[in-house]
Each structure stands twice: as structure tokens, then as C-alpha cells.
A and B are shown apart, each in its own frame.
Chain A
Amino acid sequence: MAASISTTGAGRELVLRGLRGALKLFISPLVVIESERNLQKKAPRAIPVFEIFKQVLVASSVDPSHRMVLEVARAVALKDAPIVAAARRARATYLATYDQKHLISQRQMIQASFGISVVFPDEVLKAQELADAP
């Protein structure tokens, strides 16, 4: 959603870097279905375009098990557990989000419990640029 609403933002750049193969992106089926249902309610005319986007998005689908979701839900709110569990299952370094209220606010706890850095998309871009710097 963030990648679509801002044409110049870091969310968009993350997706494009994924397409270029500069970053390895993972997405959970839950996030895809949630986005689809959200669009269906809020802007149904966007659904056919979203279908096209899904076909070209280069991201590995990662679906955590029921057990993993329950385990993570011991530490974070159930609604956030599948997202954190998917990042954990993917062995992701970063969980990029704009959800400040529910995820960014829990970044220290999620880092300590699961070893995943919950960050804004621009933080991933900056980290990659630093890593690539000579």
C-alpha cells in the first residue's frame, strides 16, 4: 500500500530494488490477502491492477506454521504474530513496515525475542547503501 500511495517513498524503492535483485524480499500470503481485501473494500477498481502487480512482484512467499504463529503470539499481539512469524521463518534480517503504532513501537522487544530488526523501509535502504559503500 505504501509503495503505491507514495511514488517516491522508500516503500516503493524497496519493491523496485527487489525487482532488480538488489534485495531479497519475502511476503506472507496473509499480507497479500489482507491487502486484496482492504482494496476490495476501499478501492475495488484497484483490484485488477493489484492482480497484475502480484504477477510481477519478485518476492518469495513465506507462510509460517500455526505453531510458529502461536509461539510468536506469546510475545506480540496476535494480529501482528503472523507477520513477525513469517519474518522469522524467512530468517529475514529486517521486517520493513510503516506500522508505527503496533510494530515499530515493539521493535526492541521483537529484536530481543526473535532477532529481527523492525524498521521503516528507508532504514533498510540506508543499511544497504552503507553495506555497499566502498
Chain B
Amino acid sequence: MRKNLGLKKGDLVAITETPGGVLITPQEVIATRALDRIGELLREQGLTLEELIESGREERGPLIEELYGIKATNQDH
């Protein structure tokens, strides 16, 4: 069955129950589709990777305080 599905030993799959039976999808396919869609939505907003790195970094200050209880000072950029 694995060979018929084009899967190699050790390949990760996701199993979904559907009304017609069980759907087996390689995780790589799911991940690729998800990343493609996220990228599409980001490009729609005209966002570049550099902008996303900077905006992510802005989120990080408060997040460090939440997760580690460390408050940033004015010197921490």
C-alpha cells in the first residue's frame, strides 16, 4: 500500500477521516500547501521578509517579559 501511494518507509503522513473513507496525505504536502498559502497572503499585503523580521522583533520585547519575566530597558533594541 505504501508503494502504491508513492510513500517511502518513514515518511510522515496525516490521516483525516472523511465521509468517503480515510484520507492519507504526506505531511510534506500539507506543510508545502500551508506555507504557499501563508506566503500568498503575505505577498497580498505587499510585505517583504525584511519588514516581517522587523515587525516580529517589535513583538519580541513584550513577549520576552511575558515568557521570561525580563523587562527590556531603553538600551535593548
Chain A, 86-129, contact with B by CB distance < 8 Å: what is the 0/1 string? 00000000000011011000000000000000000000000000
How near does chain B come to A77, taking the closest CB pair, in angstroms?
6
Asked whether any CB of chain B lies closer than 8 Å to the CB of A16, the reply is yes
Q: A14-60: which residues lie under 8 A (CB-CB) from chain B? A: 15-16, 19-21, 29-30, 33-35, 37-39, 41-43, 45-46, 49-50, 52-53, 55-58
The reply to whether A7 and B56 form a contact with Cβ atoms under 8 Å apart is no
Question: What total of chain A residues lie within 8 Å of the partner, measured CB to CB?
Answer: 48
Q: Which has the most chain A C-beta neighbours within 10 Å: B27, B34, B49, B70?
A: B34
How near does chain B come to A13, taking the closest CB pair, in angstroms?
11
The reply to whether A19 and B42 form a contact with Cβ atoms under 8 Å apart is no
Instruction: Name the B residues within 8 Å of A43 (CB-CB).
Output: 38, 41-42, 44-45, 47
Complex Cα gap A2–B53 (Å): 9
Instruction: Name the one of A15, A58, A77, A81 contacting B77, with C-beta atoms under 8 angstroms.
Output: A77
The reply to whether B38 and A56 form a contact with Cβ atoms under 8 Å apart is no
Asked whether any CB of chain B lies closer than 8 Å to the CB of A73, the reply is yes
Contact flag A42-B60 (CB < 8 Å), given A52-B30, A56-B34: no
| Closest residue of B by beta carbon distance from A98 | B49
Residues of A within 8 A of B (CB): 1-7, 12, 15-16, 19-21, 29-30, 33-35, 37-39, 41-43, 45-46, 49-50, 52-53, 55-58, 63, 66, 69-70, 73, 77-79, 81-82, 98-99, 101-102
State the 6 A-B residue pairs at the shortest beta-carbon distance, nearest first: A4-B38, A78-B76, A53-B34, A4-B39, A46-B41, A4-B35
